[in-house]
Amino acid sequence: MTTAADGTSLAHVDAVLSDVAATRSRTAKTAALATLLASARPDEVEALVGVLLGRPRQGRVGIGWRGLQTARAAASPAGAPSLTVRDLDRALERYAALGGSGSAAARSAVLAGLFTAATEPEQDLLMRVLGGEVRTGALEGVLVDAAAAAAGLPKDAVRRAVMLGGSLGGTIARALLEPDAVAGIGLAVGVPVQPMLASTAANVGDGLRVVDGPASVEHKLDGARIQVHRRGTDVRVFTRTLADVTGRVPEIVDAARALPCSDVILDGESLTLDQDGAPRPFQETMSRFGASAPRAELLAPRFFDVLHVDGRDLIDEPLRRRREELTRLAPDLLIDGAVTDDADEAARVLDEALAAGHEGVMIKDVDSPYAAGRRGKAWLKVKPVHTYDLVVLAAEWGSGRRRGWLSNLHLGALDPAGDYGEPGEFVMVGKTFKGLTDELLRWQTATFPQYETRRTQHAVFLRPELVVEIAIDGVQASSRYPGGVALRFARVKRYRDDKPPADADTIGTLRSLLRT
């Protein structure tokens, strides 16, 4: 094993991950990861967190699955382990810095060097880390708890710091190096915050009963989530995955600069509108949102929350006060809605939202704080048709007129607690080929091999990274799938390029639809 002076060896990380994968006990997972974090060098903690999650701190840096397969196939495994976390991190730094003429060959050489220096188990680990497939139950929640244990800090304090700190690895590193500083980590204008998330209610009546009191019933827009930070004239715009897209959305920057304040953090949606002010299809919004060159279509920002204004943090304030402040700041950009505990009034807002071309409504507890990164019952989404964000696990080859196309999708729901397998894995809940246009079939057939892990004669199995919105009429109890539930009349609505797999709907949410 690599000595402490050399840093944490990949062989040691692989051994710990094997131990973590071998147990379903959250306590045991936390203890193993805490020991690993506590023994790491200060300058490698952030990189180590990236390895554990299969998300290197440099990002994906353009390494494709086929490139990994080619590099491994060309490299004979080393006879003894020698690679460290720092070696991998430095190699990725070199890889990310390469560009221009000859960069493809230079990048291939960097990958070849890594795989040549790795033993066979280390090569397996490199494939999983660089391919984003480290799915051993070492999820963010477990890792955050492990960091708290390693630093001797309360779990809630570290969890809050991670939500507000902008970087999981950086915040964990700070917790280990400066534990006394964790309590002081708060909102910082310019540092993106993990967004608060919503659960699902079947209808407005159920939603109001869950909230059990006055609720803010707001139009649910079919747009792209945005978080806008402004300090003086400097504006930054982030996506729901905290990617900085400021340069792509000058119209949102201009809108933020026009607000009557100096510093602000806003949460909302952006969407394209037609000449009458009605929302355009989601695909058009995402096409405009992702464009780096100027486009004729303009994005309209609409806000539903404010987290900070002119030196005052608001996330611990109740929603009713945050909405009052938002109404003062941006009345023309405020998402429509009403505060009520009356089901008829909530239904009126829902009808109004649908008539305006929106998805449905959000029902929010007006006394709730902003729970960054959490999905609880304080925010509930209500749509007239059940739609859920699931992950594609595999696709079967079509027959008849669909022959030669990847068609029938295997769909998975997130199992965050590990009730039906490893925490953070995806539980299959059904299949569907309904709703797939010829255009989508062609796209799937061209795209899915990029996520392939294996294939059989009839199907291609994928890394669980593609989120797809599925409409269903309900669910039914089923012994066919391990979660005990199957989708009824599932059909594809669209792919959600704006959502990571961690934000997919859970098996618990689907099971809650079962009639008791």
pLDDT digits (tens, 9 = 90+) for 331-341: 999 999 999 99
Helix ranges, 131-273 (H): 140-151, 155-165, 168-177, 204-211, 250-257
Residue 415 structure tokens: 């199992």
Domains located in the chain, CATH noted: 4-182 (1.10.3260.10), 197-382 (3.30.470.30), 386-511 (2.40.50.140)
For the stretch 55-98, pLDDT in tens is 888 877 777 777 888 888 888 999 999 999 999 999 999 998 88
Burial annotation 470-505 (CB, 10 A radius, 16+ → b, else e): bbbeebeebeebebbbbbeebbbebbbebbebebbb
Q: pLDDT-derived band of residue 443, with 50, 70 and 90 as boundaries?
A: very high
DSSP at 385: S
Q: What is the pLDDT of residue 136?
A: 55
Judged against a pLDDT cut of 70, whether residue 137 lies above it is answered with no
pLDDT digits (tens, 9 = 90+) for 293-344: 656 677 899 999 999 999 999 999 999 999 999 999 999 999 999 999 999 9
- Which one from 220, 364, 381, 431 is the annotated catalytic residue? 220
Rg for the chain (alpha carbons), in Å?
24
121-138 average pLDDT score: 77
pLDDT in tens, 242-282: 889 999 899 999 999 999 999 999 999 999 887 777 777 77
Please give the order of strands across the beta sheet that includes 263-272. 234-238, 224-231, 263-272, 299-309, 312-313
Whether the per-residue pLDDT at 113 is higher than 60: the answer is: yes
**Statement: residue 470 has pLDDT above 80:** yes
pLDDT in tens, 405-420: 999 999 999 999 888 8
Q: What pLDDT is recorded for position 99? A: 81
Residue 138 has pLDDT above 60, yes or no: no
The DSSP secondary-structure symbol of 298 reads -
Of all residues in the chain, what percent carry a pLDDT higher than 70? 95
Can you tell me the distance from the alpha carbon of 209 to that of 211, in angstroms, rounded to the nearest whole number? 6
Q: What is the pLDDT confidence band of residue 1, given thresholds at 50, 70 and 90?
A: very low
Q: Has 220 been annotated as catalytic?
A: yes
Tokens of 194: 């993990």
**Per-residue confidence (pLDDT) for residue 273, from 0 to 100:** 81
- What is d(CA 197, CA 373) in angstroms, rounded to the nearest whole number? 7
CA distance 252 to 299: 7
Alpha-carbon gap, residue 145 to 470, rounded angstroms: 33
* pLDDT tens-digit readout, 24-57: 888 999 999 999 999 998 889 989 998 988 888 8
The terminus-to-terminus CA distance of the chain in angstroms comes to: 54
Q: Is the pTM of this model over 0.85?
A: no
